[in-house]
Homo-oligomer: A and B are copies of this chain.
Amino acid sequence: MEEVILKKISDPVMKDVTLIEGLPGVGNVGKLAVDHMIDELKPEHFLKIYSKNLPPQVLLDDDGIATLVSQNLYHYEKGGEHFVFLAGEYQGADSRGQYELAYTLLDFLNSEYGIQRIYTLGGYGLGKMLEEPRVLGAATSKEMAELMKKTGIIFSEGEPSNGIIGASGILLGLGKELFGVDGGCLMGETSGYIVDARSARNVLEALMKLTGIEVSTDALEAQSEEAEEILNNLREAAERSLESENDDLRYIG
């Protein structure tokens, strides 16, 4: 069995695409952002990616219909520019799998359509709740870095200190070094403790400024407010429970 198997569903006419990756990761920030664009923009699902570097698993929908784990490509056009969204439920299973998947994808897009630019989306986990989470950036060229800074993305020395690990890193790295394509990573600050719709909205807004893609973020907003409400309720319940404990203790003294 080949390392990676590409199964075309349709054959969109496109050239010099901008690849936008949003696979699962810290706070699921990148995945939320790209899945949201797919929900809203209804781009054309044109390629399925199967691989022995993904889990040996089928996923079930509500009707019990089973589908093999895959990564998927979607095509979206806006004002003559061609975007390819990379989405999925899983990243490559290990280091080698990450390389195989990223390399095969880049090689395919590059030889079939040409790649103009790569944006990878992810979360930057800080391990604490944040009042005003920022969007941090990294880029594989100075020009790309300047472009990203102009839209308000923050380049902060030494953050993240370990660089970028996984699909968001390897697509940028291989894209630059082996295919000569510039790229940037948009990292939404997040606690990393929750599926972070607020951080995803921030990343998406930065991406819209960068690419000209327009999409309502209302659903992410709503999801974020809902999550906050749940967290607040939990917090209040915890406080009440603490107070009543104190009440009980009052009678002991």
Contact = CB atoms under 8 A, between A and B. Distances in A.
Task: Give the secondary structure class of A's interface.
Answer: mixed
Interface stretch (A15-23, A93-101, A203-211, A218-226): A93-101
Given A1-B100, A3-B1, A177-B48, A163 B63 contact: no
A139 interface: yes
Interface residues on A, range: 35 or more
A140 B68 CA distance: 9
A212 interface: no
Contact of A56 (B66, B68, B169, B185): B169
Contacts of A1: 3, 99-100, 103-104
Contact of A138 (B55, B65, B169, B170): B65
A84 interface: no
A67 interface: yes
A237 B223 CA distance: 51
A50 B100 CA distance: 13
A142 B65 CA distance: 7
A134 interface: no
15 contacts: A1-B103, A50-B177, A53-B95, A53-B96, A56-B102, A57-B169, A58-B140, A58-B163, A60-B160, A60-B164, A62-B157, A64-B156, A65-B140, A66-B139, A67-B173
- The 6 residue pairs across chains A and B that have the minimum distance between CB atoms: A68-B173, A52-B99, A56-B98, A64-B155, A1-B103, A56-B170
Given A64-B138, A64-B156, 9 more contacts: A1-B3, A50-B174, A65-B138, A65-B139, A65-B140, A68-B170, A68-B173, A68-B176, A93-B96
